[in-house]
Amino acid sequence: MEKWTDIALSLIKTHGPAVLYALIIFVLGWITAKIIYSVLKNVLRKARMEETLVSFIGNLAYTLMVAFVVIASLSKLGVDTTSFAAIIAAAGLAVGFALQNSLGNFASGVMIIGLKPFKIGDYIETSGTAGVVEEISVFATKLRTPDNKTIIVPNGSITAGNITNYSAKDTRRVDMVFGIGYNDDIKQAKKILLQIICEDDRVLKNPEPMVVVAELADSSVNFAVRPWVKSADYWDVLCHVTEQVKLRFDAAKISIPYPQTDVHLHSVVPGNSTAA
């Protein structure tokens, strides 16, 4: 029994201080990591950063700090931590290569959340699709299409191309083109178009709506109709004006020509042709 007691006392004298210092380093480091984790999250929240990004950055920073504390504690015990650092570095490099697309999406998500080119509820067009933004995460953005489909778009694809935000401005211009026949009365057609625009209460007075002859096309005289409306009224005004133009033009006997080609036939009397 005395033998084991002597061995224990010898180990305590030899390694006790190192173990104690390692425990102190670990406890103090762990407490410090918790404090920094809480402070960092509060700072990010005060900066109005998205909660998903706050949680991700906070957890990542906390994990790195705890790993550093563990390595420091093991080093105090006399453990060679060089191999641990090399293993962690190699693992980080391997994970980085394996997740390079995901990391790219994450970086793009940070840009989207930070720069705010759009927000939840906006109607946007990007990466060959369009819809209302329902959710923005650090890796992907969720869109709802007009026919109520859900589309998940990787953030990397969004920042790699153009982003059209139809909800960014309070007002939008409705661009429409209506054609009439060459034999129809241009002034009468223009008067009807202006009446349709001015009678709609959703059309803004400022900027002033525009109705002009824009093109003498192959089979029609085309009017450019450009009223300004609130963004929320865009589609309603577009459909309403289009319908009214058809009804009013029909009532006024103004034709709306469709694309056509005139073919002229020439008869040749046998024996009257001349050689070149």
Whether residues 158 and 186 share a domain: the answer is: no
Q: Give the residue among 122, 115, 109 at the shortest CA–CA distance from 154.
A: 109
Tens-digit pLDDT profile for residues 199-252? 999 999 999 999 999 999 888 999 999 999 999 899 999 999 999 999 999 999
Q: How many domains does the chain have?
A: 3
Whether residues 89 and 123 share a domain: the answer is: no
**The model's pTM:** 0.57
Q: Is the model's pLDDT at 4 over the cut of 60?
A: no
Whether residues 155 and 186 share a domain: the answer is: no
Residue-number span of the structural domain to which 39 is assigned: 7-98
177: domain CATH number is: 3.30.70.100
Q: Which pLDDT does position 237 carry in this prediction?
A: 95
Tens-digit pLDDT profile for residues 125-149? 998 899 999 988 878 899 999 899 9
Q: Quick one: tokens of 276? A: 């070149």
